[in-house]
């Protein structure tokens, strides 16, 4: 017969078990957090003529399907104010294959992915309407605006540097580094006249050694970014040299007859220059973000969506795209390296002194001179110092409430 004592012991045991299982759950959550997504991009080496034709044909047909699905959703919305969902469109795929047999030459998941993209475009559109932002209707894609198709799960396999694509064939890729992790998706992308493959993989994070250093970053007016240690980093060097080439290519296009053989060549050259600028920018940002994540444990930046609103920045258009992709790189690299990225509200960062005094500055005023504490420095450096101090106090607050 059991007495109360044993029941108590049993109850304690199960409590211990509960704690133990909670501990295990916590560990699993921690492990799950450490899994990150990464992308690997490789050049596809000169594909054979047959493969090249199939690549082009697949891209062309995917674009046609995208535009058709867009048309259907558009008509349904404009004429009947109803929205057609993904499932309804996916159900039509078998019929499309009967009436247009060329679609049988494309892997079914690739086609489904095209419809998913269209769904995403519409979701974004409705989201913007709901948020009362300016929302342009999703647009039809011209030949230069639709440059990739994706195998979201199956239909591809990678052995060494040989990539086999269902319904297309084998291609050799320039495997410049080894793919680490479990490959989840395979995207084939055309950049002007070259083909690339992008694998997204799931892999565990690779923490970098701690340095005990923190930094604030100001997305400035004169410079691309300014750091709170006083370093100013500019991207105009590559930008200006490319601008010269760009202007020359643009002049050449406008001088030639539109649609003529030379005109087409000039347009192709212009597109190549644009691509080159994009590549150089991405290269510059990759190097810079890698360096910062390696060097600092805590990086404080401003929330970008609010940035344009809080300062009427003149060169915003030029910098906008750059900051967005740069901050993104910082975000995922910090996560991968187990470093901290804190995004603070940019309101008043350029108007405040370290002592707390707030004084309005005009855009042309490049120097910060505080009338209260007498602190004087370049305005962007002071702004980055403020960003760092806001980031640190935000961190202290989250620690205080035990998050």
* Binding interface with Zn ion (CB under 5 A): 353, 355, 357, 370, 372-373, 375
Tell the smallest beta-carbon distance from residue 227 to Zn ion (Å): 20
Q: Which is nearer to Zn ion, 333 or 368 (CB)?
A: 368
Q: Which is nearer to Zn ion, 130 or 360 (CB)?
A: 360
Tell the smallest beta-carbon distance from residue 378 to Zn ion (Å): 15
Tell the smallest beta-carbon distance from residue 389 to Zn ion (Å): 12
Tell the smallest beta-carbon distance from residue 336 to Zn ion (Å): 38
As a whole number of angstroms, the distance between CA 69 and CA 121 comes to 11
Tell the smallest beta-carbon distance from residue 372 to Zn ion (Å): 5
The secondary structure of 85-103, three-state, reads: CHHHHHCCHHHHHHHCHHH
Q: Could you give the 3-state DSSP secondary structure of residue 107?
A: coil
Q: Which phi and psi angles does 32 have, rounded to 5°?
A: -60, -35
Tell the smallest beta-carbon distance from residue 370 to Zn ion (Å): 3
Spatial CB neighbours of 361, under 8 Å, sequence gap ≥ 6:
350, 351, 368, 379
As a whole number of angstroms, the distance between CA 397 and CA 309 comes to 26
As a whole number of angstroms, the distance between CA 65 and CA 148 comes to 13
As a whole number of angstroms, the distance between CA 5 and CA 44 comes to 72
Q: Which is nearer to Zn ion, 119 or 385 (CB)?
A: 385
Tell the smallest beta-carbon distance from residue 375 to Zn ion (Å): 5
As a whole number of angstroms, the distance between CA 386 and CA 382 comes to 6
With 0-12 CB in 10 A as exposed, 13-18 as middle and 19+ as buried, what is 358?
exposed
Q: Which is nearer to Zn ion, 176 or 357 (CB)?
A: 357
Q: Which is nearer to Zn ion, 142 or 374 (CB)?
A: 374
Q: Which is nearer to Zn ion, 229 or 369 (CB)?
A: 369
With tokens 């047909």, the residue in question is 61
The answer to whether residues 116 and 86 touch, using CB atoms and an 8 Å cutoff, is: yes
Q: Which is nearer to Zn ion, 165 or 370 (CB)?
A: 370
Q: Which is nearer to Zn ion, 192 or 373 (CB)?
A: 373
Tell the smallest beta-carbon distance from residue 368 to Zn ion (Å): 9
The answer to whether residues 150 and 187 touch, using CB atoms and an 8 Å cutoff, is: yes
Count of alpha carbons within 13 Å of 211, Cβ hemisphere only?
A: 16
Count of alpha carbons within 13 Å of 330, Cβ hemisphere only?
A: 28
């Amino acid at each position: 017969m059991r007495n109360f004592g044993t029941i108590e012991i049993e109850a304690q045991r199960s409590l211990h078990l509960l704690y133990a299982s909670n501990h295990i759950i916590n560990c699993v959550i921690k492990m799950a957090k450490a899994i990150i997504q990464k992308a690997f991009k490789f050049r596809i080496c000169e594909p054979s003529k047959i493969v090249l034709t199939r690549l082009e044909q697949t891209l062309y047909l995917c674009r046609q399907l995208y535009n058709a699905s867009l048309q259907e959703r558009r008509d349904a919305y404009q004429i009947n104010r109803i929205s057609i969902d993904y499932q309804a469109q996916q159900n039509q795929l078998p019929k499309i294959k009967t009436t247009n047999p060329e679609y049988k030459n494309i892997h079914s998941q690739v086609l489904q992915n095209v419809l998913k993209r269209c769904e995403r475009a519409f979701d974004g559109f409705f989201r913007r309407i709901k948020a009362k932002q300016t929302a342009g209707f999703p647009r039809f894609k011209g030949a230069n605006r639709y440059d990739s198709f994706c195998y979201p799960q199956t239909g591809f396999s990678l052995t060494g540097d040989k990539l086999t694509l269902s319904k297309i064939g084998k291609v050799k890729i320039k495997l410049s580094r080894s793919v680490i992790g479990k490959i989840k998706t395979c995207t084939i992308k055309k950049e002007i006249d070259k083909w690339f493959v992008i694998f997204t993989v799931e892999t565990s994070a690779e923490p970098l050694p701690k340095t005990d250093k923190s930094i604030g970053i100001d997305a400035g007016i004169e410079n691309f970014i300014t750091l709170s240690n006083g370093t100013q980093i500019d991207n105009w060097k590559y930008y200006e040299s490319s601008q010269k080439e760009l202007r020359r290519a643009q002049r050449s296009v406008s001088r030639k007859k539109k649609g003529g053989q030379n005109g087409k060549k000039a347009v192709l050259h212009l597109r190549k220059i644009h691509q080159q600028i994009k590549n150089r920018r991405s290269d510059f940002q990759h190097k810079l973000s890698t360096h910062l994540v390696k060097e600092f444990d805590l990086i404080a930046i401003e929330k970008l969506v609010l940035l344009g609103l809080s300062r009427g920045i003149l060169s915003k258009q030029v910098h906008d795209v750059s900051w967005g992709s740069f901050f993104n790189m910082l975000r995922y690299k910090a996560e991968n390296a187990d470093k901290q990225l804190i995004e603070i509200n940019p309101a008043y960062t350029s108007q405040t002194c370290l002592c707390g005094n707030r004084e309005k500055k005009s855009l042309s005023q490049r120097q910060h001179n505080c009338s209260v504490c007498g602190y004087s420095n370049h305005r962007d450096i002071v702004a980055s110092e403020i960003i760092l101090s806001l980031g640190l106090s935000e961190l202290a607050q989250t620690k205080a409430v035990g998050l």
